[in-house]
């Protein structure tokens, strides 16, 4: 058996789309998108975000899937394969592997919060008429208890390791086929509930009516950084998932589905959360605690609140799990392909490292913010810049055409090339230079 055939491969097209959209749809959609939309004032932010998805996210999505499919390698191996073992392009891949550790370490802590809330809902700790302060106190108490956070972080990492150890088809794909439909079902149920609320119209208006005075440089920055995060771009997750695609895979179609599902689910999450926020007079700009400290307030005022709240946090846990496995998979693929480690050993060993790395995030809010900021605002945009410059300016056209396999029409291909060459890298660079203060917009 050669190195390629024991790496694993997706079993079906649908399985790939579910796994890759499972990677994309995560805490970014349900936890982060609503709270940053709330902080930046709603509709205008949503509009900028949609532009970023179209001009930056989608083109890079294609580039990453393409690089994975051509090389059938992990992110570092992909650059080595294309540019030679000594090429400095592999730094982009290395940054991806590092980002996987950084992101997963704090991501798992947040996923742990949602498990903690499932447990609280299940034992009836979020109940009818318990008083606003008491409900808000639930999150504060959790946030101030590092041991409980570390406990749930550990539970979550054990699940992630268990799934990734199972392999590409029998672990990741099989679980994505359960988690994604489950998530969509729960979302639709909660959406049905949100539509019955009196604040529904106001929620819709908040999300879709744009007030352009809110379009500030920080809002654009945030939207751009988030478009990488939410689509799992800039760190090699899509290179890795693309590397398990068979020869005849259709990248344009698959990539488009991933982006549509990710964006659709983020909007749906907003349409569930904001009506609740407005109906119960909660604070839309409450920040990271939005869904943990304000939403339970609403749940506690409803007769069936415990069940709704359990449903909501199970949904969040599902979304987090299918993303977390893709983060660990980037590191596992690297240790397997480049260093010859056994997959199971890599999953357990690297999972343990991530667990340790997450402990300071569970204990210190500032460390958590540092890891979040480092990955979302620096590592991912830089990685995305690397991929788009590489795909636009360096990558061999033959390889590229081969990977698209004639599935992208000539004209669309030309447009994609123009965008990935001239638009995407410059937008990312502009925003990045502004971020580190080199230029002031």
**Contact residues: ligand PHE, CB under 6 A:** 23-24, 26-29, 103, 229-230, 232, 235, 237, 323, 326-327
Query: Is there a contact between 258 and 17 (Cβ–Cβ < 8 Å)?
Result: yes
Identify which of residues 125 and 374 has a Cβ nearer to ligand PHE in the complex.
374
DSSP string, 278-328: HHTT--TT-GGGIIIIIHHHHHHTSTTHHHHHHHHHHHHHHHHHHHHHHHH
Within 8 A by CB and 6+ apart from 240, the residues are 68, 74, 75, 326, 329, 330, 333
Identify which of residues 138 and 265 has a Cβ nearer to ligand PHE in the complex.
265
Residue (of 431, 432, 360, 374) closest to 109 by Cα position:
360
Cα–Cα distances (Å) from 278 to 75, 190, 207, 237, 264, in that order, read 44, 16, 12, 36, 21
Find the shortest distance in angstroms from Cβ 27 to ligand PHE.
4
Identify which of residues 73 and 226 has a Cβ nearer to ligand PHE in the complex.
226
Identify which of residues 265 and 298 has a Cβ nearer to ligand PHE in the complex.
265
The token pair at 65 is 């899937």
Identify which of residues 153 and 197 has a Cβ nearer to ligand PHE in the complex.
153
Query: Is there a contact between 177 and 22 (Cβ–Cβ < 8 Å)?
Result: no
Identify which of residues 107 and 280 has a Cβ nearer to ligand PHE in the complex.
107
Find the shortest distance in angstroms from Cβ 19 to ligand PHE.
12
Find the shortest distance in angstroms from Cβ 24 to ligand PHE.
5
Identify which of residues 20 and 126 has a Cβ nearer to ligand PHE in the complex.
20
Find the shortest distance in angstroms from Cβ 71 to ligand PHE.
19
Would you state the torsion angle of the CA atoms of residues 5, 8, 10, 15, taken in this order, to the nearest 10 degrees? Answer: 170
Residue 315 CA neighbour count, 13 Å, CB half: 25
Find the shortest distance in angstroms from Cβ 135 to ligand PHE.
25
Find the shortest distance in angstroms from Cβ 129 to ligand PHE.
34
Ramachandran quadrant class, 341 (left: phi over 0; alpha: psi -120 to 50; beta: rest): beta
Find the shortest distance in angstroms from Cβ 236 to ligand PHE.
8
Find the shortest distance in angstroms from Cβ 365 to ligand PHE.
19
Identify which of residues 38 and 306 has a Cβ nearer to ligand PHE in the complex.
38
Find the shortest distance in angstroms from Cβ 168 to ligand PHE.
16
Residue with tokens 């805490």: 27
Identify which of residues 199 and 381 has a Cβ nearer to ligand PHE in the complex.
381
CA 308/CA 122 separation, integer angstroms: 10
CA 309/CA 127 separation, integer angstroms: 10
CA 241/CA 243 separation, integer angstroms: 5
The token pair at 265 is 């689910």
Identify which of residues 121 and 376 has a Cβ nearer to ligand PHE in the complex.
376
Identify which of residues 20 and 346 has a Cβ nearer to ligand PHE in the complex.
20
CA 123/CA 116 separation, integer angstroms: 11
Find the shortest distance in angstroms from Cβ 314 to ligand PHE.
16
Find the shortest distance in angstroms from Cβ 232 to ligand PHE.
4
Query: Is there a contact between 221 and 434 (Cβ–Cβ < 8 Å)?
Result: yes
- The dihedral sign for the CA sequence 335, 19, 174, 115: positive
Helix (H, G, I), strand (E, B) or coil at 12: coil
CA 86/CA 74 separation, integer angstroms: 16
């Amino acid at each position: 058996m050669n190195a390629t055939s024991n790496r694993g491969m997706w079993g079906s097209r649908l399985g790939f789309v579910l796994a890759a959209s499972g990677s994309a749809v995560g805490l970014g959609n349900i936890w982060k998108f609503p709270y940053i939309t709330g902080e930046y004032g709603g509709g205008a932010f949503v509009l900028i975000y949609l532009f970023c998805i179209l001009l930056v996210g989608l083109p890079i999505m294609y580039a990453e899937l393409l690089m994975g499919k051509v090389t059938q390698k992990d992110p570092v191996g992909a650059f080595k394969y294309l540019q030679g073992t000594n090429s400095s392009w592999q730094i982009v891949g290395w940054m991806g592997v590092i980002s996987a550790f950084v992101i997963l370490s704090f991501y798992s802590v947040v996923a742990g919060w949602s498990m903690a809330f499932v447990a609280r809902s299940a034992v009836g700790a979020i109940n009818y008429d318990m008083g606003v302060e008491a409900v808000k106190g639930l999150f504060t108490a959790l946030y101030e208890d590092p041991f409980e956070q570390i406990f749930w972080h550990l539970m979550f990492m054990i699940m992630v390791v268990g799934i990734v150890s199972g392999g590409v088809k029998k672990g990741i794909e099989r679980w994505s086929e359960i988690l994604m439909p489950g998530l969509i079902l729960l979302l639709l149920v909660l959406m049905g509930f949100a539509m019955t609320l009196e604040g529904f119209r106001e929620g819709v208006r908040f999300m879709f009516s744009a007030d352009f005075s809110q379009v500030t440089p920080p809002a654009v920055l945030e939207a751009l950084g988030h478009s990488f995060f939410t689509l799992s771009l800039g760190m090699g997750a899509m290179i890795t998932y693309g590397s398990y695609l068979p020869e005849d895979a259709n990248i344009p179609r698959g990539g488009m589905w991933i982006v549509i599902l990710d964006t659709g689910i983020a909007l749906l999450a907003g349409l569930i959360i904001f009506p609740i926020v407005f109906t119960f007079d909660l604070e839309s700009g409450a920040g990271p605690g939005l869904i943990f400290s304000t939403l339970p307030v609403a749940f506690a005022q409803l007769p069936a609140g415990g069940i709704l709240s359990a449903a909501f946090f199970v949904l969040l846990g599902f979304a987090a799990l299918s993303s977390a496995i893709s983060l660990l998979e980037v590191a596992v693929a690297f240790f397997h392909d480049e260093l010859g480690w056994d997959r199971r050993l890599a999953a357990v060993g690297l999972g343990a490292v991530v667990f340790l790395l997450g402990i300071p995030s569970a204990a210190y809010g500032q460390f958590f913010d540092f890891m979040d900021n480092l990955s979302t605002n620096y590592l991912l945009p830089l990685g995305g810049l690397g991929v788009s410059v590489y795909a636009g300016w360096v990558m061999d056209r033959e390889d590229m055409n081969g990977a698209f396999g004639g599935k992208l029409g000539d004209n669309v291909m030309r447009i994609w090339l123009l965008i990935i060459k001239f638009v995407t890298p410059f937008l990312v660079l502009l925003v990045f230079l502004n971020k580190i203060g080199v230029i002031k917009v």
